[in-house]
Amino acid sequence: MSRVLVVTGGGRGLGAATCIAAAERGYEAICVNYVGNKARADEVVAACEKAGAKAIAVQADITKEADIMRLFETVDNELGTVTHLVNSAGIVGPYARVDELPYDELAELWNLNITATLICSREAIKRMSTKHGGAGGAIVHLSSASSHLGGAGINVPYAASKGAVDSLNWGMAQEVVAEGIRVNSVSPGLIDTEIQPEGRVENMGPQLPMKRAGQAHEVANAILFLLSDEASYVAGTKILVSGAR
């Protein structure tokens, strides 16, 4: 059976690294979702195609249900039924103490980090689940080490949003595991990608237990393990990729 992978936020950072690594490991079809930067998504598609995969870039703002529906329908029509989903899209802000939080920025955080993860998973489950006539599959959510670190003084709302991802990961895994779908998550620590504020990697890296920040491919390796048949009895698990932080 062909492996059809959808990666939300696949045009940058951890999502891009996951798409390219999947292509290099023989995934037959890959959807690179992006919201605004088509040029970056096209670069990821080109790298996937160079590695031998069929790849498409699909613009969709996954905070909008209609866009999510269009994303999965495009995959149905151009690549086939999704078998693997990585919920990688997310944002970090606002950076502030709780007593300084801007109210208007919180809805965007919840909508992308929590609601979009749930609704993208819904659409994947409707296609993968044996209950709905599917052949099974695997889903990996991107959580964060912040979910247990708490983000005090920097970004408590982001940590809370990823705590929600941890909860939905465990509950969702139990809900669909008997229907042929394994659900797991990966919790990165400080990873050197463009999502980091300027100077944070350089300043914090040497202070970490491993004395450095992680790299995107190190997170992608964990994601691809959880998607693979090597993790055939792994469900509801969270893998920390945080260098003992």
Are the beta carbons of 127 and 139 closer than 8 angstroms?
no
| Cα 85 to the center of its chain, rounded Å | 8
The full 3-state SS of 60-97, as one line of letters, equals: CCCCCHHHHHHHHHHHHHHCCCCCEEEECCCCCCCCEC
Catalytic-residue membership of 158: yes
Mapped onto helix, strand or coil, the DSSP state of residue 236 is coil
Choosing from 34, 103, 158, 233, the catalytic residue is 158
In the block, which residue shows the tokens 């890296």? Answer: 205
Phi/psi of residue 204, each to 5°?
A: -90, -30
Phi/psi of residue 42, each to 5°?
A: -65, -35
Tokens of 9: 């936020």
Q: How far apart are CA 85 and CA 129, in angstroms?
A: 13
Q: State the catalytic residues.
A: 158
